[in-house]
Amino acid sequence: MQVIPLVSIVVPCFNEAAGIANFHTILNASISALADINWEILCVDDGSTDGTLAALLALAEHDPRMKIVELSRNFGKEAALTAGLDAARGDAVIPL
C-alpha cells in the first residue's frame, strides 16, 4: 500500500476579506485536479482589521483541510509565514 504524503500550503493573509472566498475556491479546484495528493491549507491571519479572520473561520467550517492560525496583531508577511511553517504538518510545504 502506497502512503500518500501530506502537502501543506501556507497562505499569509492580511486584510483579504474581499477576495479570500474566491481565492479558496480557485485554490481548492486547482489542488483537487491533481491526482493522489493529500493536502492541507494553513491560512495565517496577520492581525487583519477588515473581517478576514471571520471569513477564514467561515470557510474552515466547511473545509476540514483548512486550518487557521491567528496572530494577535500585524507582524508582517515573514512572521506570518513562519507561524504557518510552524503549524504545518505536511511532508512538504508550499508557501504562497
Domain count along the chain? 1
pTM for the whole structure: 0.92
Assigned domain for 1 exists: no
Within a domain: 26: yes
Tell me whether residue 41 is in a domain. yes
Q: What are phi and psi of 80, to 5 degrees?
A: -65, -45
Taking residues 58-66, what's their average pLDDT? 97
Residue at 61 is within a domain:
yes
User: Which range marks the domain in which residue 91 is found?
Assistant: 6-95
- Give Cα separations from 85 to 4, 23, 49, 81 (angstroms): 20, 20, 23, 6
DSSP 3: P
Distance, CA of 69 to CA of 32 (rounded, Å): 23
Specify if 20 maps to a domain: yes
What's the pLDDT tens digit per position in 8-26?
999 999 999 999 999 999 9
Report pLDDT digits (tens) over 73-94.
Answer: 999 999 999 999 999 999 999 9
- Which CATH number goes with the domain that contains 65? 3.90.550.10
% of residues, the chain, pLDDT over 70:
100
